[in-house]
A and B are shown apart, each in its own frame.
Chain A
Amino acid sequence: MLDGIITGLTTAVMPFNLLMVVVGCFAGTFIGMLPGLGPISAVALMIPITYGLDPSSGIILMAGVYYGAVFGGSTSSILINAPGCASTVVTSFDGYPLAQQKQAGKALALAAYSSFTGGTIGAIVLLFAAPALASVSLSFQSSDYFALMILGLTAVAAFSGKGQVIKALIMTVFGLMIATIGTDVTSGTTRFTFGNVNLIDGISFLLLAMATFALAEVVMTVLKGQHREKEEAMDMSQLGSMKLSKEEILHVAPTIGRSSIFGFLVGVLPGAGATIASFLAYGLERNLASAKEKLKFGKGALRGLAAPESANNAASTGSFVPLLTLGIPGSGTTAIMLGALIAYGIQPGPRLFIDNPDVFWSVIISMYFGNLVLLILNLPLIPYISRLLAIPRPILIPLILFFSVTGVYLVSFNSFDIHMMALITAIAIFLKLLEFPMAPMLLGFILGGLMENNLSRALTISDGSFAFLWERPLTLGIVSVALIVLIIPPLIELLRRSKTKEPLPRGPETSISEGEG
């Protein structure tokens, strides 16, 4: 393990990779501050750039953008009460009231310290947890992988919010359907190409990710008329001091510690992401607070700000555990990173630890650097970065559209891809209006090919019998967990409904469905 850490450290401290962390954090912070664009969109916009880089640098850049976007989302939550992404909604509960009390500087500093501590604790736990899990998963067979992918897909659906499970499952199936377009790798026959040569290679992951998360998100803001809204001015003269007193630090330290560990554990669960972690950590902290302190929550409580901030950053780090060790993304953003790694020819999973130790370790080490950059460079520069938001929307939106479209074009040099992007964006907007979550579709699409290969192999080994699902204890265990994860949320909901005899309420769109981390 020490060799690996040294390899990772050597790769991560290369000047170019350090530059990638810094650039990623800045770009992410800026994109994350734009209301409507979250970490998924930010990371999706970076994919075309990473295609020209080597795998380690590409993933380091994406990881930097990821943290930056979460941090940027917190900043706009605190300053203008407009969360850039779902995982920073809770930050605005106590962050914005603090800004109104002319303590925005303190709120931003506390958010940055909490994020830093959350991310750091998360990175340290990841340093030990990931290799341990990777070595265990080396004994996995194709049947186990198939079961794991089922678990990943069902978990994403199960965590996608109250009353949304069926819709998320449908979107997963839709993603799997899209993945079958093109040439079947095992037999070499073409499927669903309708004689169009442009579809023989299937629909590219980049195209689908950019169309559903970058283009569709921007077009949705236009559809809702948000491009006409003037960005609320951030009065930087009223930031106030960015210093925290010793008493305040002692007051929030236990909260940050608890929420970091808690957030990391929630982030590790496939499907649960930073949003769920931040909501749960806030709830937990509120329950732990004394009756007197409880009253302060929602009115500018420091603990109420520190808890979700440390939890969502730790969860972002935690979501890398299933990605790096099992090859199963824990969230929408890591799903995009999985697609990017596959495009590089790197298969995330237990072999990654052995075959590409430089990628594995440098990502983990650079996460720590990313948190450091956010604290040292981004925090003091917030007043300047936020000035970029003054670019009028009628100028900014066409530029984002241009980057999304050319990002796809410059990889394939095929204008057919741009036509496909426009079509997929139109479909994505229609589905968004019907409240169908997008991330399960992307996850289904990414895991579709791998799942089909593993199922084909497992069925061939067992001579066409599905007995492999219950004959091998490990496979049976994973399938059982997948079933439990899938059945429990609707059951709880049904029980609750029968008790209260109320119609099924719609829960908040969570991490998985919107711009989550």
Chain B
Amino acid sequence: MTLSKDHIGGLVFLALSATYGYYAGHIALLPGDEFEPFHAQSLPNALAILGALLSIVLLLTANRSLSSTLSLTGYDFRLVTQLLVLVVAFALALDWVGFFIATIFFLIGGYWLLGERRIKTLLVASVPFAGGIWFVLTQLLDIYLAPGQLFTHLFGG
């Protein structure tokens, strides 16, 4: 039996609904809530059941043709993973080195990953842009951007 996209989706959501239903049973209720017609567990329980039922329907009615199997060829997963890691690194850098430097690193990293190798372009398309955005946010819109923990540790807050 071939595993089509519908089968994979159905199985994933069946597992998700089961896990969701399990944790729905762990939601703390206020004393006496169990006698109320509607409480914090009501909707999650209903959703878990509905999700499981729909997943089973999807599994039963799944398209079984060969064209509906999941093909991962031709996709650049490596580059996408690198970009998402860059996004996470940007979040970490925001906390440690502040908005301006984090933005420059993020943009240069992004351009580099997507194939731009000219140093001049990398710098011209990142430093003035980051500076401009920083100026607009802090000076024109009066938004406070934390300088980053590294600078706070080094030079004091």
Spell out A's residues near B (CB within 8 Å). 52, 163, 166-167, 169-170, 173-174, 176-177, 180, 184, 186-187, 189-192, 215, 219, 222-225, 227-228, 392-395, 397-399, 401-402, 405-406, 409-410, 413, 415-416, 418-419, 421-422, 425-426, 429, 431, 433-436, 452, 455-456, 459-460, 463-465, 503-504, 506
Picked from B17, B50, B110, B115, the residue with its CB within 8 Å of the CB of A402 is B110
Determine whether the beta carbon of B9 is less than 8 Å from that of A434: yes
Picked from A191, A422, A433, A460, the residue with its CB within 8 Å of the CB of B70 is A433
Interface centre among A173, A192, A225, A435 (most CB of B within 10 A): A173
Determine whether the beta carbon of B110 is less than 8 Å from that of A177: no
Spell out B's residues near A (CB within 8 Å). 5-6, 8-9, 12-13, 16-17, 20, 23-24, 27-30, 33, 36-40, 42-44, 47, 50-51, 54-55, 57-58, 61, 63, 65, 68, 70, 72, 74-77, 79-80, 83-84, 87-88, 90-92, 94-95, 103, 106-107, 109-111, 114-116, 121, 125, 129, 133, 137, 141, 143, 146
Residues of B within 8 A of A416 (CB): 91
Determine whether the beta carbon of B80 is less than 8 Å from that of A429: yes
Determine whether the beta carbon of A452 is less than 8 Å from that of B87: no
A–B complex contacts, Cβ < 8 Å, 26 sampled = A52-B141, A166-B58, A166-B61, A174-B51, A176-B47, A180-B44, A184-B40, A222-B80, A224-B74, A394-B111, A395-B125, A398-B107, A398-B110, A398-B111, A398-B114, A405-B87, A409-B91, A410-B143, A418-B87, A419-B91, A425-B84, A431-B9, A433-B70, A434-B5, A434-B8, A459-B37
Q: Are A177 and B63 CB-contacts (below 8 A) given A401-B87, A426-B84?
A: no
15 further A-B contacts with Cβ under 8 Å, apart from A223-B75, A415-B95, are: A52-B141, A170-B13, A174-B13, A180-B44, A187-B39, A189-B29, A219-B80, A223-B76, A225-B76, A395-B111, A410-B137, A418-B88, A422-B88, A434-B8, A464-B36
Residues of B within 8 A of A431 (CB): 9
Determine whether the beta carbon of B58 is less than 8 Å from that of A167: yes
Residues of A within 8 A of B114 (CB): 222, 227, 393-394, 397-398
Determine whether the beta carbon of A397 is less than 8 Å from that of B110: yes
Give Cα A398–Cα B87 distance, bound, in whole angstroms. Answer: 10
Give Cα A434–Cα B111 distance, bound, in whole angstroms. Answer: 29
**Shortest Cβ gap from A364 to chain B (Å):** 30
Interface centre among B9, B24, B74, B115 (most CB of A within 10 A): B9
Q: Which residue of B lies closest to A452 (CB)?
A: B43
Q: Are A189 and B28 CB-contacts (below 8 A) given A222-B79, A422-B84?
A: yes
Give Cα A393–Cα B83 distance, bound, in whole angstroms. Answer: 14
**Shortest Cβ gap from B84 to chain A (Å):** 5
Q: Are A177 and B20 CB-contacts (below 8 A) given A222-B80, A415-B94?
A: yes
Q: Which residue of B lies closest to A169 (CB)?
A: B54
Give Cα A192–Cα B125 distance, bound, in whole angstroms. Answer: 42
Determine whether the beta carbon of B58 is less than 8 Å from that of A170: yes
Q: Which 4 A-B pairs have the closest CB atoms?
A: A398-B110, A464-B37, A418-B91, A394-B114
Residues of B within 8 A of A415 (CB): 91-92, 94-95
